[in-house]
Amino acid sequence: MAIPYMETVVGFMIVMYVFETYLDLRQHTALKLPTLPKTLVGVISQEKFEKSRAYSLDKSHFHFVHEFVTILMDSAILFFGILPWFWKISGGFLPIVGLDPENEILHTLSFLAGLMTWSQITDLPFSLYSTFVIESRHGFNKQTIWMFIRDMIKGILLSVILAPPIVAAIIVIVQKGGPYLAIYLWAFMFILSLVMMTIYPVLIAPLFNKFTPLPDGDLREKIEKLASSLKFPLKKLFVVDGSTRSSHSNAYMYGFFKNKRIVLYDTLIQQCQNENEIVAVIAHELGHWKLNHTTYSFIAVQHTVIPLQHLVSFGLNLVSRAFEFQADAFAVNLGYAKDLRPALVKLQEENLSAMNTDPLYSAYHYSHPPLVERLRAIDGQDKKTD
């Protein structure tokens, strides 16, 4: 008896949608709580809590609508056989522009170009609303509509340049792979990831943001001293103009082997009360490097088929949260507890991150532990080091 594959896939999508909506409802209920968690009372101001609560509820309402529309469209596309129909249409388009419809690579590229166009069109209203209504309403968005359109055009052009050779390579591997197809595909994706991680920060990211060297001064000296003490091969230290698009803040590092670089968002520098708090955040990030978290995360298998992708994603989130606790403990052991704690609180406040979280929702979705759990773990680790 043949298994109704399409009906099974659509059914599974709907089941997952119902399950995740249940978690979303639990989180929405937690977000509506009018009081701070006990751990954050006296740590987070009531004003910031109210702003965070309003922002989180706004995003939650938007998320419900977005996910409902998405599941309707995805289910309809699969159930009514729109993808096979579109594959046929995309092949029929090729002779019109003088290309061979029997060429599998050209046919696939035509099909994917159509899907990308459809995705851009259907997602545009949601992107515009999220950026220019929700983010603007809560003081985060700094983009103009022209900047938004310019970034979108740049993203499309990059896809047009990068996608064809990648797709062509994958098709050739599928055609020639034989019994070792899975191994060849994994090796290709691994090498591709290495290449993209190398060229993205150097060639692609500067197309969207301006990276300038961190000026000489106490902050630079403190970061370089910390990196040197850990034998971190810091080659360049940048500040990125994240404030041109958003007032959200962050910091990250990248690079292979002896060519490491650290990037600070200008918003992070503006929001932290002193340089030691910024250095404490960097100490946390360097903890990920020292403890080999970056390597472990990179080699983890993240692209699997339904339904395994949900289990793998959940497992990776569990590992990621463990890594965050370990990186916090690493910074505490270096003596940054008194600076890391207020830095995390400041980031939570300035980013208006959710203060109240449902435990099941956060366990399923969050790659970082909630602030309450991180502060509790930092305090416990700090006591051990005393």
What residues are annotated to the active site? 285, 328
Give the helix/strand (H/E) hosting 261.
strand 260-265
CA–CA separation, 325 and 340 (whole Å): 12
Amino acid at 362: S
CA–CA separation, 242 and 267 (whole Å): 7
Q: 């230290």: which residue's tokens? A: 237
Query: How far is residue 368 CA from its own chain's centroid?
Result: 12
Enter the tokens of residue 170: 């994958």
75: CB partners within 8 A, 6+ apart: 10, 13, 14
CA–CA separation, 335 and 243 (whole Å): 30
CA–CA separation, 68 and 18 (whole Å): 10
Task: Pinpoint the alpha helices (H) of 38-103.
Answer: 46-79, 82-93
Q: 């035509």: which residue's tokens? A: 110
Contact by Cβ (8 Å): 278, 313? no
